C-alpha cells in the first residue's frame, strides 16, 4: 500500500456556460459590496460587461494587469484599491490578471473572485510569482488562493487559437510534473491524467473550429484539473527551467512552457518511468516526450526557444542559472545535462 498525504484546496468552483451570470450572487456570498475589477487593457470590455451584471454594486475597473505581475503595477493597482475603498477583488482574464488579484490579496487579504479566460491554472493555486527589478520570486501563501472561481466556457470561445495552444500546453505541464512530484499522490495523479487527456483531445479540435463549445468546455475542464495539480504538489525541473528563462530573458510564459515540456519529459523519463508511462498512455503514444512534442506540433505551438525570442549565445548562462537552487527532480540535475536540454530546446530538435 502506498502511504500519502492529500491536502484539498478549499476554493468554491462554478463550472459551465453562462456562469458569469452568477457573478453578483457569488460576489454577495463573499460579502463584496465595492469590488475592484481587474483585467488587461485588451480585455477591458469583458470587465465592463461584467459590471453590468453587478447592478447595485459600485465597482471600479483597473485594466493594467501585465505578465509576471510586476510589483510597480501592483502598487498602481493598490492606489486604486485604496482610492475606491474596495472590499473585494474580481479578476477577469488570464494568469496575468489572476496574478495581479493575488498580489493585491497578499497585501490586503481581500476576498478574490476569479473568472479565468485562459488555461494557465493560476486560479487554483496558493502561489504568486511577482517580478521586481528583473527578478522573479515565488511566494506560497494561503491568502493568495482565490475564494471563488467562476469558469464560464463562453468567455473562452474567442481566446485566439495560438494562445489556446500554448496556454493548453502550459496547463499540461502542470499535470506532467505532478505525475513525478516528490510529494505526489494517487488523487492528484487521477486529476493529472484526466487533465492531460481532456486538453489533448480538445486542443486539436480548436485548431479547425475555435468556437467549438464542447472542445472549449473540455479544454477549460482539463485546465482546471491541471491547475489543481500545480496548486497541490511541488513542481520540478520543467517549471524551474521556465521560471529561469522567463526571469532572465522575459520570454513569453505559455510559449516557453510549450517549448520546454517535451525536453523536460525526455530528461526525466528514465528516472520517472511510471509517470512517463501514464503520460504516454493518455496521449496514446509509446513515448511520452515524443507524444508531447507531436501534440505541440499538431496544434501549431512554437517548437524552439529561438523562435520565441531567446537570443543566440545565451544557453550557457541559462544552464548555469538553472542549476542553481534546483527544485526536487526525479533525474539528477547536472549543468551538462541541462545544457544539452536547453540547446535542443533552443534549436527545436525533433525527438
Binding stretches for ligand NAD (CB under 6 A): 40, 42-43, 67-69, 93-97, 99, 117-118, 120-122, 125, 127-129, 155-156, 158-159, 163, 167, 170, 230, 253-254
Beta carbon of residue 85, minimum distance to ligand NAD (angstroms, whole number): 26
CB nearer to ligand NAD: give 65 or 315: 65
Beta-strand pair 127-132/135-140 = antiparallel
Smallest CA-to-CA distance from 102 within 71, 63, 61, 132 is with 71
Please, what is the minimum distance in Å from the beta carbon of residue 164 to ligand NAD? 9
> Which is closer to ligand NAD, CB of 259 or CB of 290?
259
Task: Give dist(CA 151, CA 77) in Å, integer.
Answer: 24
Minimum separation from the CB atom of position 42 to ligand NAD (A) = 4
Q: Following CA atoms 63, 96, 168, 233 in sequence, which dihedral angle do they give, to the nearest 10 degrees?
A: -150
CA distance 294 to 314: 26
- Output the CA–CA distances (angstroms, integers) from residue 181 to 31, 124, 189, 322, in the order listed: 37, 17, 10, 18
CB of 325 to ligand NAD, least distance (A): 18
Question: Helix and strand tally (H, E) in the chain?
Answer: 13, 8
Shortest CB 121 distance to ligand NAD, Å: 5
Sheet bearing 88-93, strands edge to edge: 12-16, 148-152, 112-116, 88-93, 35-38, 60-62
485594466: which residue's cell? Answer: 63
For ligand NAD, the nearest residue by Cβ is: 95
Nearer CB in complex with ligand NAD: 101/262: 101
170 versus 244: smaller Cβ distance to ligand NAD: 170
| Integer Cα distance of 47 and 61 in angstroms | 7
Residue 37, strand partner residues: 61, 90
CB 34, CB 86: distance < 8 Å: yes
> Does residue 233 sit in helix, strand or coil?
coil
Shortest spacing between CB 155 and ligand NAD, in angstroms: 6
- Rounded CA-CA distance 72/206 in Å is 36
Nearest distance from C-beta of residue 187 to ligand NAD, angstroms:
19
Pick between residue 209 and residue 274 the one whose CB is nearest to ligand NAD: 209
> Toward ligand NAD, which CB reaches closer, 207 or 331?
207
Least CB distance to ligand NAD at residue 136 (A) = 8
Cβ-based nearer residue to ligand NAD, 112 or 118: 118
Which letter does DSSP use for residue 70 in this model? Answer: B
Q: Which is nearer to ligand NAD, 223 or 319 (CB)?
A: 223
Amino acid at each position: 500500500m502506498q502511504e500519502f498525504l492529500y491536502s484539498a484546496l478549499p476554493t468554491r468552483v462554478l463550472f459551465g456556460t453562462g456562469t458569469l451570470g452568477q457573478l453578483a450572487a457569488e460576489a454577495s456570498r463573499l460579502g463584496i459590496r465595492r469590488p475592484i475589477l481587474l483585467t488587461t487593457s485588451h480585455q477591458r470590455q469583458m470587465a465592463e460587461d461584467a459590471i453590468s451584471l453587478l447592478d447595485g454594486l459600485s465597482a471600479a475597473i483597473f485594466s493594467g494587469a501585465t505578465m509576471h505581475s510586476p510589483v510597480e503595477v501592483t502598487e498602481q493597482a493598490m492606489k486604486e484599491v485604496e482610492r475606491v475603498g474596495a472590499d473585494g477583488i474580481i479578476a477577469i482574464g488570464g494568469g496575468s490578471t489572476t496574478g495581479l488579484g493575488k498580489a493585491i490579496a497578499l497585501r490586503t487579504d481581500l476576498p478574490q473572485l476569479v473568472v479565468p479566460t485562459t488555461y494557465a491554472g493560476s486560479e487554483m493555486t496558493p502561489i504568486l510569482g511577482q517580478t521586481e527589478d528583473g527578478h522573479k520570486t515565488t511566494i506560497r501563501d494561503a491568502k493568495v488562493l482565490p475564494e471563488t472561481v467562476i469558469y464560464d466556457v463562453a468567455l473562452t470561445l474567442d481566446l485566439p487559437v495560438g494562445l489556446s495552444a500554448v496556454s493548453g500546453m502550459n496547463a499540461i505541464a502542470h499535470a506532467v510534473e505532478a505525475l513525478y512530484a516528490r510529494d505526489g499522490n494517487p488523487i492528484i495523479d487521477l486529476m493529472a491524467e484526466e487533465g492531460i487527456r481532456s486538453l489533448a483531445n480538445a486542443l486539436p479540435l480548436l485548431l479547425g473550429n475555435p468556437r467549438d463549445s464542447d472542445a472549449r468546455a473540455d479544454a477549460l475542464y482539463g485546465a482546471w484539473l491541471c491547475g489543481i495539480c500545480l496548486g497541490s504538489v511541488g513542481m520540478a525541473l520543467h517549471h524551474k527551467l521556465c521560471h529561469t528563462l522567463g526571469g532572465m530573458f522575459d520570454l513569453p510564459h505559455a510559449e516557453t512552457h510549450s517549448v520546454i515540456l517535451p525536453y523536460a519529459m525526455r530528461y526525466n523519463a528514465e528516472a520517472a518511468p511510471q509517470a512517463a508511462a501514464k503520460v504516454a498512455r493518455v496521449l496514446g503514444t509509446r513515448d511520452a516526450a515524443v507524444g508531447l512534442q507531436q501534440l505541440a506540433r499538431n496544434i501549431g505551438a512554437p517548437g524552439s526557444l529561438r523562435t520565441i525570442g531567446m537570443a543566440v549565445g545565451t544557453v550557457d548562462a541559462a544552464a548555469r542559472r538553472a542549476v542553481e537552487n534546483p527544485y526536487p527532480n526525479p533525474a539528477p540535475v547536472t549543468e551538462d545535462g541541462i545544457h544539452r536540454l536547453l540547446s535542443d530546446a533552443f534549436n527545436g530538435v525533433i525527438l
